Every structure is written in C-alpha cells, then in structure tokens.
Structure 1
Amino acid sequence: MGDLWSGLTQAFWLVVTLDKELVEISWRSLRITLSALVLASAIAMPLAAFLAVRRFRARRAFIAVMNALMGLPPVVVGLVVYVLLSRSGPFGVLGLLFTPTAMIIAQIIIIVPLIASIAHQSLRDLWQEYHDLLISMNVTQWQKMKTLLWDARRALLTAALAGFGRAIGEVGAIMIVGGNIDHATRVLTTAIALETGKGNFALALSLGFVLIALAVAVNLAIHWLGRTEREGRW
C-alpha cells in the first residue's frame, strides 16, 4: 500500500511540475494525433457527404464495408503499414518507417472509417430534410455536399472528436510502425507500456493521468456538442 501511495504521489508531482519528459511525450502524442485527425477528417467527411447525396449501384455495399471497417483491428493496420513502408515494401524508398509520419498514416487508416460512418449517419438524416429543396434549386453535386457539410458542422465535429478519442488511445499499430523510439516516436500509450514494464510506475501513472484527462475532455466535449445540437433543433 505504501509503494502504491508513493507512486501516486510521485506521479501527481510530475504532472504538477510539468516534468520535461512528460511534457515532451504528451505534446508529441497531441501533435501526431491532431495531424492524423485533420487529414482523416478531410478524407472522411467529403466521402460521407458524397455517400449521402449520390446514389450508385454499389453504394449500400460500400457503406456496409465502411461500417464494418470501424472495428478494424489496429494491430492488423500496423502490420499492413509496416509491410508497405519497410525496405522490401513498395514505399520503402521513402524511409518513413519508425517515424511520426508512419504513425500518422496508421492512425488515419484506423479512424477514417469511424469518422465517415458517424458523419454519414448525420448527413443522411439531414439530406432527407434538404433533398426536395436542393433538387428544386438545381444545384450541383458539390454544392449539395457543401451545404450538408456546413449545416451539419456540429455533428461533424462530434464525429471528429470520436476519431480523436480512438486515435489518442491507440497503442498496437503505432508501436509497430513507430518503434517507440525515445525523443522521436514515443507517445503516451507506448510510453505507458514501456515504463510499466520497466517498473517506473510514477512516470507511467503520470502519463496515464494525462491520457485519462484527454479522454475525459473529449467525452465531455462530445456530450456538450450533442446536447447543443439537440437543443438547436427545437
């Protein structure tokens, strides 16, 4: 019990004093995750809008596959990205393996289906309301998509925050493609796994506190945005 209390005390002190290593790892995690989130959102949200307004033969099958990919095992994603970026892979010449860029690529693949699926549900409902109006105005496909994306911006932000929550807590894929290299690719989740294995519970707990704080902040933001969205409809 004494060791546990001592570890918690040291962990709290590391957070309060903004320990240099703790800040470095936390900032790198945020930078990588936010970069992946911006790029993933730029792919997923227009895709979701396109699927909402456009009808084509394989649309239902495409949506079903997209929804299924929400549960894509991150370790498998990491393995595929590793093979593609390794020296013997097709993109090995770029030298991206064990870099933050490789971690961003893995996170993008993981969260694009999640963001696209959540965004599509909101845009599909909104399209049912706007369908007759936009058709009567004879606007282009791109204008329809822009209108939906703008009017559903709060719901889309909720989808993006859900993607952020998934990405910030990911460990399997980024451990494989990033290598958990100190001062280069070490992030919150991989550092927690490493420091726990080393028995450095104080740093591991402090990193865990930061990760929990980020997760709670994201969940509170999603709850607040969802409530605001519901109130705005009344």
Structure 2
Amino acid sequence: MIQLIINFFNTYNDIFKVITMSLTVSLSSTLISSVLGLTLGIIVSLNEFKLKKHIMRVANTLMSLPPVLIGLLVYILLSRKGPLGQFGLLFSPMAMIIAQSMLVFPIIFGLTVSSVTEIAVEVEKTCISLGANKLDTFYTIIKECKLPLLSVVTAGFGRAISEVGAVMMVGGNIKGYTRVMTTYIALETGKGNFNEAIIIGFVLLLISFSVNSVLFKLQGRN
C-alpha cells in the first residue's frame, strides 16, 4: 500500500497543486462565510422583527439547495453575458470561492441562529445590565458561544471541502489551475482509474480529519 502511494505521487506529481488548491478554495470560502454568517447570525439571534421567520425559512431552504443550482447561478453571473462577466472570473479559483461561499453561508448563518439564540439573549441582558456597549456585548457573546460557533465553522468547512458539482461548473476542472481533490476523484473515476481515485479520496479524508481534529482540540481547550 505504501509503495502504491509512493508510485502514485511520483507518477502524478501535480497532485500537490490539487491539494493546495482544494485547501485554498475551501478555507477561503469557509473564512468568508464564517465572518458574514456568524456576524449576521448573532445579530438576527438578538433581535425580533417581522421578517425573522421568513429569513430563517429562506436560510433553511438554501441549506438544502442542490449545489448544481448554485453553480448554475454563479456561472450565469460570471459568464461573458452575465452582470459580472466583465471581470473575467469564470473558470478561475475566485469563481470557485464565490460558489462555495454561497453554499456554505446559509449553513453557517442558519446553524448560528439555531445554536446561540438562547445563550446570546441571556449574555446580552447581562452585558446591558453591566453597562457594556454594543461592541463589547458582541465580543462577549462570541466568547461565551465559542464552542457551538466552532462546531458551526467545522460543519461549514466540511461542506466546502466535499463540494464537487458547483466548483466543477464554475471552475472547469482545469489541470494545474482549478482542479481540486473532489473534481480529481470524479475525473479519475470517469476514466476508470479507480486506484488513483481511491488514493486521492484517502488524502481528502485525511485532510478533512486533520482540520476537524484541530477544531475539536480548540473546543476541548475552551
């Protein structure tokens, strides 16, 4: 098995670019989605307004939206005739980050609202009684809810690293440029190269396990 893996990396020496691209796109989209999703999620958790239920219904719907629909939407937006076509982003890593961010954001936003609402409201009341300003209150909520928020980010990263449909549509699976591990697996499986697909699948699982382990260790320390 070890020799098989060594031969694989010697034969497919571009695999490190594939792994690097996967991590770059997935971590970038998770970071963007986390900043927006956690911030907006906490804000929605702390406030009651007429459209809140409708917003949550839309978020829950988007959480289960097929990735190919997001891929189609981003493709249309970034195509030459699309509203953002002038920027030439289609079939680029940036297009993949945009697509993955749109997929991950509803998950992080929805899970944030559902997991921290009760705690956030109690923390806000305590902070207000102590005379804290809005910024300090927001920081305190994040600090007190860091365990569930880390779980939310972990779920978002898992969604990003495993995505294939949307990134293939907007990235094009271009060798050495937009090819990631999931599209690599799909390509090699279609070619009948099951050994290669299994090995890169194992690498994907190992990377996902490593990242999740780091996040869980952070949860344990906290």
1:79 to 2:82 alignment: no
Give the aligned partner of residue 50 of structure 1: 43
Larger deviation: 137-146 or 64-73?
Answer: 137-146
CA, structure 1 residues 91+68, in 2 after alignment: closer, same or farther (shift >3 Å)?
A: same
Report the 3-state secondary structure (helix = DSSP H, G, I; strand = E; otherwise coil) of the residue aligned with 1:199: coil
Give the aligned partner of residue 88 of structure 2: 95
Give the aligned partner of residue 59 of structure 2: 66
1:35 to 2:28 alignment: yes
CA, structure 1 residues 49+18, in 2 after alignment: closer, same or farther (shift >3 Å)?
A: farther
Report the 3-state secondary structure (helix = DSSP H, G, I; strand = E; otherwise coil) of the residue aligned with 1:20: coil
Give the aligned partner of residue 5 of structure 1: none
Letter in 2 for 1:192: I
1:161 to 154, 166, 180: 154
Deviation, 1:135, is: 3.1
Letter in 1 for 2:41: A
CA, structure 1 residues 64+157, in 2 after alignment: closer, same or farther (shift >3 Å)?
A: same
Give the aligned partner of residue 136 of structure 1: 129
Larger deviation: 199-208 or 92-101?
Answer: 199-208
Give the aligned partner of residue 124 of structure 1: 117
CA, structure 1 residues 18+116, in 2 after alignment: closer, same or farther (shift >3 Å)?
A: farther
Q: Give the Cα separation in 2 of the matches to 1:76 and 1:171.
A: 12
User: For 1:46-73, what per-residue CA distance to the aligned partner results, in whole angstroms no more than 9, with x for missing partners?
Assistant: 0011011122211122122212211111
Say whether the 8 Å CA contact 1:170–1:189 is kept in structure 2.
Answer: yes
Give the aligned partner of residue 3 of structure 1: none
Say whether the 8 Å CA contact 1:195–1:201 is kept in structure 2.
Answer: yes
TM-score under structure 2 normalisation?
0.89
Larger deviation: 182-191 or 49-58?
Answer: 49-58
Say whether the 8 Å CA contact 1:123–1:149 is kept in structure 2.
Answer: no
Larger deviation: 63-72 or 96-105?
Answer: 63-72
Letter in 2 for 1:34: L
Letter in 2 for 1:137: L
Q: Give the Cα separation in 1 of the matches to 2:195 and 2:209.
A: 21
Letter in 2 for 1:52: S
CA, structure 1 residues 173+16, in 2 after alignment: closer, same or farther (shift >3 Å)?
A: closer
CA, structure 1 residues 21+49, in 2 after alignment: closer, same or farther (shift >3 Å)?
A: same
Larger deviation: 17-26 or 46-55?
Answer: 17-26
CA, structure 1 residues 225+67, in 2 after alignment: closer, same or farther (shift >3 Å)?
A: farther
1:110 to 2:103 alignment: yes
Say whether the 8 Å CA contact 1:14–1:22 is kept in structure 2.
Answer: no
Aligned residues between the structures = 222
Please list every run of 5 or more consecutive structure 1 residues that lacks an aligned counterpart in the other structure: 1-7
Deviation, 1:96, is: 0.1
Deviation, 1:167, is: 0.7
CA, structure 1 residues 158+11, in 2 after alignment: closer, same or farther (shift >3 Å)?
A: farther
User: For 1:58-114, what per-residue CA distance to the aligned partner results, in whole angstroms no more than 9, with x for missing partners?
Assistant: 112212221221111100000000000000000000000000000000000000011
1:23 to 16, 28, 44: 16
